[in-house]
Structure 1
Protein backbone atom coordinates (compact mmCIF):
# COMPACT_ATOMS: atom_id res chain seq x y z
CA UNK A 1 0.00 0.00 0.00
CA UNK A 2 1.47 3.37 -0.99
CA UNK A 3 2.10 5.87 1.77
CA UNK A 4 -0.27 8.79 2.04
CA UNK A 5 1.10 12.28 1.59
CA UNK A 6 0.47 15.07 4.07
CA UNK A 7 -2.74 16.30 2.40
CA UNK A 8 -4.21 12.79 2.15
CA UNK A 9 -3.40 12.07 5.81
CA UNK A 10 -5.02 15.36 6.83
CA UNK A 11 -8.15 14.59 4.76
CA UNK A 12 -8.40 11.12 6.32
CA UNK A 13 -8.01 12.62 9.81
CA UNK A 14 -10.62 15.26 9.00
CA UNK A 15 -13.06 12.60 7.75
CA UNK A 16 -12.57 10.48 10.91
CA UNK A 17 -13.07 13.52 13.14
CA UNK A 18 -16.15 14.60 11.17
CA UNK A 19 -17.74 11.14 11.46
CA UNK A 20 -17.00 10.96 15.20
CA UNK A 21 -18.53 14.39 15.76
CA UNK A 22 -21.53 13.52 13.57
CA UNK A 23 -22.17 10.47 15.71
CA UNK A 24 -21.96 12.59 18.86
CA UNK A 25 -24.35 15.31 17.60
CA UNK A 26 -26.79 13.34 15.45
CA UNK A 27 -29.42 12.91 18.18
CA UNK A 28 -29.47 16.55 19.22
CA UNK A 29 -32.41 18.77 18.24
CA UNK A 30 -34.42 16.05 16.45
CA UNK A 31 -37.51 18.24 16.13
CA UNK A 32 -35.54 20.89 14.27
CA UNK A 33 -34.29 18.62 11.47
CA UNK A 34 -37.30 19.19 9.21
CA UNK A 35 -37.01 21.49 6.20
CA UNK A 36 -39.50 23.95 7.71
CA UNK A 37 -37.56 24.29 10.96
CA UNK A 38 -34.20 24.50 9.15
CA UNK A 39 -35.63 27.32 7.07
CA UNK A 40 -36.66 29.13 10.24
CA UNK A 41 -33.03 28.92 11.41
CA UNK A 42 -31.77 30.16 8.02
CA UNK A 43 -34.14 33.15 8.18
CA UNK A 44 -33.09 33.87 11.77
CA UNK A 45 -29.44 33.75 10.73
CA UNK A 46 -30.12 36.09 7.80
CA UNK A 47 -31.88 38.50 10.17
CA UNK A 48 -28.88 38.31 12.50
CA UNK A 49 -26.58 39.18 9.60
CA UNK A 50 -28.83 42.13 8.73
CA UNK A 51 -28.55 43.26 12.36
CA UNK A 52 -24.75 42.90 12.20
CA UNK A 53 -24.60 44.99 9.01
CA UNK A 54 -26.80 47.61 10.68
CA UNK A 55 -24.45 47.69 13.68
CA UNK A 56 -21.53 48.16 11.29
CA UNK A 57 -23.24 51.13 9.63
CA UNK A 58 -24.21 52.62 13.02
CA UNK A 59 -20.55 52.45 14.05
CA UNK A 60 -19.81 55.01 11.35
CA UNK A 61 -22.14 57.53 12.97
CA UNK A 62 -22.01 56.71 16.69
CA UNK A 63 -18.98 56.01 18.84
CA UNK A 64 -21.03 53.71 21.07
CA UNK A 65 -22.33 51.72 18.11
CA UNK A 66 -19.85 48.87 18.69
CA UNK A 67 -21.64 48.04 21.96
CA UNK A 68 -24.42 46.56 19.83
CA UNK A 69 -21.97 44.01 18.45
CA UNK A 70 -22.24 41.91 21.62
CA UNK A 71 -26.01 41.28 21.25
CA UNK A 72 -25.42 40.49 17.57
CA UNK A 73 -22.86 37.83 18.55
CA UNK A 74 -25.16 36.51 21.27
CA UNK A 75 -27.77 35.96 18.54
CA UNK A 76 -25.37 34.58 15.96
CA UNK A 77 -23.61 31.81 17.88
CA UNK A 78 -26.61 29.76 19.10
CA UNK A 79 -28.45 30.10 15.77
CA UNK A 80 -25.37 29.12 13.76
CA UNK A 81 -24.58 26.20 16.06
CA UNK A 82 -28.17 24.95 15.87
CA UNK A 83 -28.21 25.24 12.08
CA UNK A 84 -24.97 23.29 11.83
CA UNK A 85 -26.33 20.54 14.10
CA UNK A 86 -29.67 20.12 12.33
CA UNK A 87 -28.16 20.25 8.83
CA UNK A 88 -25.48 17.68 9.68
CA UNK A 89 -22.69 20.16 8.88
CA UNK A 90 -22.98 19.28 5.20
CA UNK A 91 -21.69 22.69 4.17
CA UNK A 92 -18.20 21.91 5.43
CA UNK A 93 -18.20 18.11 5.50
CA UNK A 94 -15.15 16.38 4.03
CA UNK A 95 -15.97 15.01 0.58
CA UNK A 96 -14.88 11.53 1.66
CA UNK A 97 -17.87 11.33 3.99
CA UNK A 98 -20.48 12.27 1.37
CA UNK A 99 -22.05 10.43 -1.55
CA UNK A 100 -21.78 11.77 -5.12
CA UNK A 101 -25.07 13.68 -4.98
CA UNK A 102 -24.14 15.33 -1.68
CA UNK A 103 -20.69 16.28 -3.03
CA UNK A 104 -22.37 17.87 -6.06
CA UNK A 105 -24.75 19.84 -3.83
CA UNK A 106 -21.91 20.87 -1.54
CA UNK A 107 -19.75 22.04 -4.44
CA UNK A 108 -22.61 24.09 -5.91
CA UNK A 109 -23.34 25.67 -2.51
CA UNK A 110 -19.65 26.43 -1.93
CA UNK A 111 -19.37 28.00 -5.37
CA UNK A 112 -22.36 30.20 -4.62
CA UNK A 113 -20.90 31.04 -1.19
CA UNK A 114 -17.63 32.13 -2.80
CA UNK A 115 -19.50 34.37 -5.25
CA UNK A 116 -21.50 35.88 -2.38
CA UNK A 117 -18.31 36.47 -0.39
CA UNK A 118 -16.49 38.13 -3.28
CA UNK A 119 -19.44 40.38 -4.08
CA UNK A 120 -20.27 41.43 -0.53
CA UNK A 121 -16.70 42.08 0.60
CA UNK A 122 -16.37 44.66 -2.16
CA UNK A 123 -18.86 46.90 -0.33
CA UNK A 124 -16.72 47.52 2.78
CA UNK A 125 -13.58 47.65 0.62
CA UNK A 126 -15.07 50.43 -1.50
CA UNK A 127 -16.32 52.15 1.68
CA UNK A 128 -12.82 52.08 3.17
CA UNK A 129 -11.05 53.22 0.01
CA UNK A 130 -13.45 56.00 -0.92
CA UNK A 131 -14.04 57.03 2.69
CA UNK A 132 -10.37 57.29 3.56
CA UNK A 133 -9.69 59.38 0.45
CA UNK A 134 -12.70 61.64 1.07
CA UNK A 135 -11.88 62.21 4.75
CA UNK A 136 -8.11 62.03 4.33
CA UNK A 137 -8.07 59.42 7.08
CA UNK A 138 -9.50 61.76 9.71
CA UNK A 139 -12.75 59.88 10.41
CA UNK A 140 -12.12 58.20 13.76
CA UNK A 141 -14.54 55.28 13.44
CA UNK A 142 -13.98 54.41 9.79
CA UNK A 143 -11.51 51.58 10.44
CA UNK A 144 -13.75 49.94 13.05
CA UNK A 145 -16.81 50.32 10.80
CA UNK A 146 -14.94 48.85 7.85
CA UNK A 147 -13.67 46.00 10.00
CA UNK A 148 -17.14 45.09 11.27
CA UNK A 149 -18.63 45.31 7.78
CA UNK A 150 -15.83 43.18 6.34
CA UNK A 151 -16.14 40.62 9.14
CA UNK A 152 -19.90 40.42 8.66
CA UNK A 153 -19.67 40.01 4.89
CA UNK A 154 -17.04 37.29 5.31
CA UNK A 155 -19.29 35.53 7.84
CA UNK A 156 -22.24 35.75 5.44
CA UNK A 157 -20.17 34.20 2.67
CA UNK A 158 -18.73 31.56 4.96
CA UNK A 159 -22.14 30.56 6.30
CA UNK A 160 -23.85 30.65 2.89
CA UNK A 161 -23.10 27.06 1.84
CA UNK A 162 -24.62 25.65 5.03
CA UNK A 163 -27.58 28.03 4.73
CA UNK A 164 -28.18 27.03 1.09
CA UNK A 165 -27.99 23.32 1.87
CA UNK A 166 -30.19 23.64 4.97
CA UNK A 167 -32.77 25.56 2.94
CA UNK A 168 -32.82 23.29 -0.10
CA UNK A 169 -32.38 19.77 1.24
CA UNK A 170 -35.56 17.72 1.62
CA UNK A 171 -36.82 16.42 4.93
CA UNK A 172 -34.83 13.42 6.13
CA UNK A 173 -36.41 10.03 5.70
CA UNK A 174 -38.21 9.23 8.99
CA UNK A 175 -36.86 5.69 8.85
CA UNK A 176 -33.20 6.69 8.47
CA UNK A 177 -30.64 7.35 11.19
CA UNK A 178 -30.56 10.99 10.07
CA UNK A 179 -33.98 11.57 11.65
CA UNK A 180 -33.78 9.98 15.12
CA UNK A 181 -37.03 9.32 16.89
CA UNK A 182 -37.71 11.38 19.95
CA UNK A 183 -37.53 9.58 23.24
CA UNK A 184 -40.89 8.19 24.27
Structure 2
Protein backbone atom coordinates (compact mmCIF):
# COMPACT_ATOMS: atom_id res chain seq x y z
CA UNK A 1 0.00 0.00 0.00
CA UNK A 2 1.32 3.43 -0.87
CA UNK A 3 1.99 6.11 1.68
CA UNK A 4 -0.87 8.19 0.30
CA UNK A 5 -3.32 5.33 0.71
CA UNK A 6 -2.13 4.67 4.26
CA UNK A 7 -2.48 8.38 5.05
CA UNK A 8 -6.04 8.47 3.65
CA UNK A 9 -7.06 5.36 5.62
CA UNK A 10 -5.53 6.79 8.81
CA UNK A 11 -7.21 10.17 8.25
CA UNK A 12 -10.56 8.48 7.61
CA UNK A 13 -10.20 6.47 10.83
CA UNK A 14 -9.44 9.59 12.85
CA UNK A 15 -12.29 11.49 11.20
CA UNK A 16 -14.76 8.70 11.97
CA UNK A 17 -13.86 8.85 15.68
CA UNK A 18 -14.31 12.58 16.09
CA UNK A 19 -17.50 14.60 16.24
CA UNK A 20 -18.19 18.22 16.82
CA UNK A 21 -20.97 19.08 19.26
CA UNK A 22 -22.45 22.50 18.58
CA UNK A 23 -25.40 22.25 20.98
CA UNK A 24 -26.25 20.04 23.91
CA UNK A 25 -27.86 16.67 23.56
CA UNK A 26 -31.56 16.08 24.14
CA UNK A 27 -32.56 16.09 27.79
CA UNK A 28 -35.80 14.29 28.56
CA UNK A 29 -36.14 15.98 31.97
CA UNK A 30 -35.92 19.49 30.52
CA UNK A 31 -38.44 18.51 27.85
CA UNK A 32 -40.91 17.04 30.37
CA UNK A 33 -40.49 19.81 32.96
CA UNK A 34 -40.99 22.46 30.29
CA UNK A 35 -44.14 20.70 29.07
CA UNK A 36 -45.50 20.60 32.62
CA UNK A 37 -44.68 24.28 33.16
CA UNK A 38 -46.37 25.21 29.88
CA UNK A 39 -49.49 23.23 30.81
CA UNK A 40 -49.61 24.81 34.26
CA UNK A 41 -49.26 28.36 32.92
CA UNK A 42 -51.74 27.77 30.13
CA UNK A 43 -54.29 26.21 32.51
CA UNK A 44 -53.93 29.04 35.04
CA UNK A 45 -54.10 31.87 32.51
CA UNK A 46 -57.01 30.26 30.68
CA UNK A 47 -58.93 29.92 33.94
CA UNK A 48 -58.24 33.59 34.79
CA UNK A 49 -60.04 34.65 31.61
CA UNK A 50 -63.30 33.33 33.07
CA UNK A 51 -62.69 33.83 36.78
CA UNK A 52 -64.12 36.23 39.31
CA UNK A 53 -62.53 39.63 39.78
CA UNK A 54 -61.00 38.49 43.08
CA UNK A 55 -59.02 35.79 41.25
CA UNK A 56 -57.39 38.51 39.14
CA UNK A 57 -55.84 40.20 42.18
CA UNK A 58 -52.09 39.92 42.54
CA UNK A 59 -52.37 38.51 46.05
CA UNK A 60 -54.52 35.66 44.68
CA UNK A 61 -51.82 34.84 42.10
CA UNK A 62 -48.66 35.44 44.15
CA UNK A 63 -48.21 31.78 45.15
CA UNK A 64 -48.74 30.64 41.56
CA UNK A 65 -46.08 33.11 40.36
CA UNK A 66 -43.72 31.85 43.08
CA UNK A 67 -44.28 28.27 41.92
CA UNK A 68 -43.67 29.23 38.28
CA UNK A 69 -40.43 31.02 39.19
CA UNK A 70 -39.31 27.95 41.17
CA UNK A 71 -40.05 25.73 38.16
CA UNK A 72 -38.13 28.01 35.80
CA UNK A 73 -35.20 28.06 38.25
CA UNK A 74 -35.22 24.26 38.58
CA UNK A 75 -35.20 23.77 34.81
CA UNK A 76 -32.48 26.43 34.56
CA UNK A 77 -30.25 24.67 37.09
CA UNK A 78 -30.52 21.44 35.11
CA UNK A 79 -29.98 23.22 31.79
CA UNK A 80 -26.89 24.99 33.16
CA UNK A 81 -25.35 21.66 34.13
CA UNK A 82 -25.49 20.40 30.54
CA UNK A 83 -22.62 21.02 28.14
CA UNK A 84 -23.33 23.42 25.24
CA UNK A 85 -26.85 24.29 26.40
CA UNK A 86 -26.69 28.05 25.86
CA UNK A 87 -29.80 28.26 23.66
CA UNK A 88 -32.02 26.55 26.23
CA UNK A 89 -30.59 28.73 29.00
CA UNK A 90 -31.33 31.87 26.97
CA UNK A 91 -34.94 30.79 26.47
CA UNK A 92 -35.31 30.11 30.20
CA UNK A 93 -33.91 33.57 30.98
CA UNK A 94 -36.53 35.00 28.63
CA UNK A 95 -39.26 32.99 30.40
CA UNK A 96 -38.14 34.50 33.72
CA UNK A 97 -38.20 38.00 32.23
CA UNK A 98 -41.68 37.35 30.85
CA UNK A 99 -42.81 36.24 34.31
CA UNK A 100 -41.37 39.45 35.79
CA UNK A 101 -43.30 41.44 33.20
CA UNK A 102 -46.53 39.54 34.05
CA UNK A 103 -46.03 40.24 37.77
CA UNK A 104 -45.50 43.95 37.00
CA UNK A 105 -48.69 43.94 34.94
CA UNK A 106 -50.68 42.17 37.66
CA UNK A 107 -49.54 44.66 40.34
CA UNK A 108 -50.02 47.49 37.83
CA UNK A 109 -46.49 48.66 38.38
CA UNK A 110 -45.95 49.85 34.82
CA UNK A 111 -47.67 52.57 32.81
CA UNK A 112 -46.86 51.31 29.32
CA UNK A 113 -44.21 49.44 27.40
CA UNK A 114 -41.04 48.86 29.40
CA UNK A 115 -38.22 51.26 28.64
CA UNK A 116 -34.75 49.93 27.90
CA UNK A 117 -33.73 50.88 31.44
CA UNK A 118 -36.71 49.01 32.93
CA UNK A 119 -35.91 45.93 30.82
CA UNK A 120 -32.34 45.98 32.09
CA UNK A 121 -33.57 46.16 35.68
CA UNK A 122 -35.92 43.21 35.09
CA UNK A 123 -33.06 41.28 33.50
CA UNK A 124 -30.56 41.99 36.25
CA UNK A 125 -32.83 41.96 39.34
CA UNK A 126 -35.38 39.32 38.36
CA UNK A 127 -38.96 38.82 39.41
CA UNK A 128 -40.27 40.89 42.34
CA UNK A 129 -42.78 38.66 44.13
CA UNK A 130 -43.39 41.15 46.95
CA UNK A 131 -46.63 43.09 47.27
CA UNK A 132 -44.85 46.32 46.29
CA UNK A 133 -43.83 48.03 43.06
CA UNK A 134 -40.10 48.69 43.03
CA UNK A 135 -38.26 50.68 40.39
CA UNK A 136 -35.20 48.47 40.96
CA UNK A 137 -37.28 45.59 39.53
CA UNK A 138 -38.62 47.50 36.54
CA UNK A 139 -41.64 49.32 38.00
CA UNK A 140 -42.40 52.81 36.74
CA UNK A 141 -42.37 54.10 40.34
CA UNK A 142 -42.12 52.77 43.88
CA UNK A 143 -45.54 51.96 45.35
CA UNK A 144 -46.37 49.85 48.42
CA UNK A 145 -49.20 47.37 48.99
CA UNK A 146 -50.18 46.42 45.44
CA UNK A 147 -51.65 43.02 46.31
CA UNK A 148 -55.21 44.15 45.63
CA UNK A 149 -54.46 45.22 42.06
CA UNK A 150 -56.20 43.18 39.37
CA UNK A 151 -54.71 41.85 36.16
CA UNK A 152 -56.62 43.28 33.21
CA UNK A 153 -58.45 40.54 31.32
CA UNK A 154 -57.28 42.06 28.04
CA UNK A 155 -53.68 41.16 28.94
CA UNK A 156 -54.36 37.50 29.68
CA UNK A 157 -54.56 36.10 26.15
CA UNK A 158 -51.46 37.91 24.81
CA UNK A 159 -49.50 36.85 27.92
CA UNK A 160 -50.69 33.24 27.54
CA UNK A 161 -49.63 33.26 23.89
CA UNK A 162 -46.26 34.76 24.81
CA UNK A 163 -45.54 31.99 27.34
CA UNK A 164 -46.78 29.29 24.96
CA UNK A 165 -44.44 30.61 22.28
CA UNK A 166 -41.50 30.95 24.69
CA UNK A 167 -41.88 27.53 26.30
CA UNK A 168 -42.78 26.01 22.93
CA UNK A 169 -39.40 27.21 21.63
CA UNK A 170 -37.65 25.32 24.44
CA UNK A 171 -39.63 22.16 23.66
CA UNK A 172 -38.95 22.52 19.92
CA UNK A 173 -35.24 22.92 20.62
CA UNK A 174 -35.21 19.80 22.79
CA UNK A 175 -37.05 17.83 20.09
CA UNK A 176 -34.59 19.07 17.46
CA UNK A 177 -31.75 17.86 19.69
CA UNK A 178 -33.51 14.51 20.04
CA UNK A 179 -33.81 14.11 16.27
CA UNK A 180 -30.20 15.11 15.83
CA UNK A 181 -28.52 12.83 18.34
CA UNK A 182 -29.14 9.64 16.34
CA UNK A 183 -30.13 7.57 19.36
CA UNK A 184 -33.89 7.49 18.87
CA UNK A 185 -36.22 5.74 16.48
CA UNK A 186 -37.25 8.95 14.69
CA UNK A 187 -33.72 9.68 13.48
CA UNK A 188 -33.48 6.25 11.83
CA UNK A 189 -36.58 6.83 9.66
TM-score normalised by structure 1 residue count: 0.38
Richer in helix (by share): 1
TM-score normalised by structure 2 residue count: 0.38
Higher relative contact order by CA 8 Å / sep ≥ 6: 1 or 2?
1
Greater C-alpha Rg: 2
